[in-house]
Chains A and B, each alone.
Chain A
Amino acid sequence: MKRARWRHLVPLAAVVVAGGIGLMIASAPATRLDPASAWCAPSPARLLGCGEAGVDLTAVVSSAALRAVALAVTVSLLSFALGTPLGVAAALARGRFERIVERGCDLVQAFPTFILALAVLSAVRAPTRLHIGAVFALTSWAPFARLALAQTRVLRGAAFVEAAVALGRGRAGVLVRHVLPNVVGVVAVQLGSTGASIVVSEAALAFVGLGPRDGVSLGGVLDQGVAAMLRAPHVLVVGAVAVFFTSVAMLAAGNAIGNEVGESY
């Protein structure tokens, strides 16, 4: 990886390292309540202060940021792994399958994703991160499939693809050996924006009350901050800064990895 690209991974590495250190130095686990210390200001004992019912914000923010990154990475990679072969296969198959996949992408990308997530999560008594990840995966495969479809349309008439077909390679062989390696780089650029939007959407869902049931989420911290805007503004600032840095770090890292993958092939 080029040196300039390594620099783009620094923010994500900083979020992960800060999260790990935060968990080690926190005075209590993220879910431990201490009502006597509710809304306490930052101090050497509790670096980021306390939130509602005395939860240690250092522990909550560290844990929530790490979980948000893990969720975003998992869902982005899963969507990448599902959407890319689907788009390539559709473009190679042409005809009805290609039209169905294209219309499917149109349909999914036209959905107001946040509203869809609210609707689907309402069918669950108490959402977990697995439910939230599944809801995001419902729609996040589409941009990858659409990009792969468009790129494969350009490549399917290329001389090397026609040569492979003429030499008797089957459709699966052409897909895996010849087309996918040339498409992956372009599609991987989407990883960054997908990861960042998952971090933000998870925070927004938790902010409006549809977060994971353990309450450990960046949106939950923001919700507490808005409720205690007058007496404990530090909670608001901590939550906002954490959401901003985590999403920007995901965006930068995803773009750097996408560009690196693109140049490798």
Chain B
Amino acid sequence: MARVAARLLRVWRVVGGRVAQSAAVVLALASLVFLALRVLPGDPARLVLGDMAGPVELARVRASLHLDEPLLAQYARFLRGLSRLDLGDSLRRPGTSAMARVAEALAPTAQLALVAVAIGAATGVAIAIAASGPWLGLRKRAWIDAGLVVAAASPLVAFAPVITWVFAVRVRLVPLPGDPDAGASGLLFASALLAVPLAAHVGRITRASLQEVARDSFLTVARAKGARPARVWVLHALPAVVGPVVTVVATQLGALLGGAVVLERMFERRGLGTLILEAYATRDLPVLEGAVVAAGLLFVAAQGLGAAVHVAIDPRARGEG
């Protein structure tokens, strides 16, 4: 009983620490966005309406955004709104709550990111197992290692348009960017592009971790008992290296979110990225604040989930090993 309580306490400490850190990240991000839009030189009301706006219109926007109040009062109002998920109405769609627009855009981005994580993690692990087992020669393994390094170092913004041109224009296998009927194949292709850097990072970490456990006695025992190579690597070796894989997936999520913005822009897909860009272009400040905070929340939630999975499956992460 005492051991169970001590274990629960350790898990609680780790999870509690992560939750506090995540909350601090979101609060800092939200505060920075709030300050950037109000403290940096330039009148936010003029940003919204443009230089030709008259004093009456400017006063109306200042009042609707509460810009005429002291900064501290504005900040308190902003934090209160944030805690209630209510940052006011969208300036460009009066009557529609800014957070409603954000919630609407969150689903397609989460879908894109989730499919990309699934493809990237599965591909990376499969490549690492193929390169670690006895199926390939030394030269082919060296080629795989070099390929993983090149893929990890290649910027998404450089290779995604070129691959899209090859597959959409030359080979005509996938829909063109902006095709409204792209459907599932469009989602799958965009996710596959987003998954390339993730697959490379996961592949490199998994390969290195598998190499570390390759000579461990538990694998020797499994081989001695007659287990086939696929069983040895997938059922015995892989669970021992899941921790670093989960961690690398969680740490790559920031890049994945940035990549999602680039791909949504390129494929003209609806999502958080296009909403942020649209809100930036039209200076819809409540939507912009809400979308950036939501992106930060998505990011820290995914990182927290990754850490929780790591703690749940690896006793060493709980300080028990």
Contacts and interface: CB of A to CB of B under 8 A. Distances in A.
Interface of A: 103, 106-107, 110-116, 118-125, 196, 200-201, 203-204, 207-210, 219, 222, 225-226, 229-230, 233, 236-237, 239-241, 243-244, 247-248, 251
Interface stretch (B136-144, B159-167, B311-319): B159-167
Which 6 A-B residue pairings sit nearest by Cβ, starting from the closest? A114-B258, A243-B158, A200-B155, A119-B292, A112-B254, A123-B36
Contacts of A106: 21
27 contacts: A106-B21, A111-B254, A111-B296, A112-B253, A112-B296, A114-B261, A116-B32, A119-B32, A121-B280, A122-B36, A122-B37, A122-B280, A123-B44, A123-B47, A203-B158, A204-B261, A208-B273, A209-B265, A209-B277, A222-B161, A229-B164, A230-B176, A236-B161, A237-B162, A241-B158, A243-B157, A244-B154
A123 to B, nearest CB: 4
Given A222-B161, A236-B161, A119 B33 contact: yes
Contact of A233 (B32, B37, B156, B165): B165
B153 A110 contact: no
Which of A114, A120, A123, A226 has the largest number of chain B CB atoms within 10 A? A123
A99 to B, nearest CB: 13
B177 A115 contact: no
Which of A124, A226, A237 has the largest number of chain B CB atoms within 10 A? A226
Question: A interface, by DSSP: helix, strand, loop or mixed?
Answer: helix
A106 B262 CA distance: 26
Contacts of A210: 280
B157 A229 contact: no
Contacts of A208: 261-262, 265, 273, 277
B206 interface: no
Contact of A222 (B158, B176, B257, B283): B158
Interface string B286-299: 00100010011001
B300 interface: yes
A111 B29 contact: yes
Question: B interface, by DSSP: helix, strand, loop or mixed?
Answer: helix
B154 A115 contact: no
B249 interface: no
Given A123-B36, A219-B157, A248-B153, A118 B262 contact: no
Query: Chain B interface residue count: which class?
Result: 35 or more
B63 to A, nearest CB: 20
B266 interface: yes
Contacts of A200: 155, 157-158
A122 B169 contact: no
B28 interface: yes
B196 to A, nearest CB: 13
Contacts of B177: 226, 229
B206 to A, nearest CB: 21
A118 B165 contact: no
Contacts of B276: 115, 118-119
A115 B258 contact: yes
Contacts of B54: none
A236 B165 contact: yes
B21 A110 contact: yes
A69 to B, nearest CB: 15
B153 A225 contact: no
Interface string B4-29: 00000000000000000100110011
Contacts of A118: 261, 276-277, 280, 292
Which of B36, B265, B296 has the largest number of chain A CB atoms within 10 A? B36
A239 B161 CA distance: 10
A207 B262 CA distance: 7
A207 B157 contact: yes
Given A204-B155, A204-B262, A244-B155, 8 more contacts: A110-B21, A110-B25, A114-B257, A120-B36, A123-B36, A219-B157, A230-B169, A230-B176
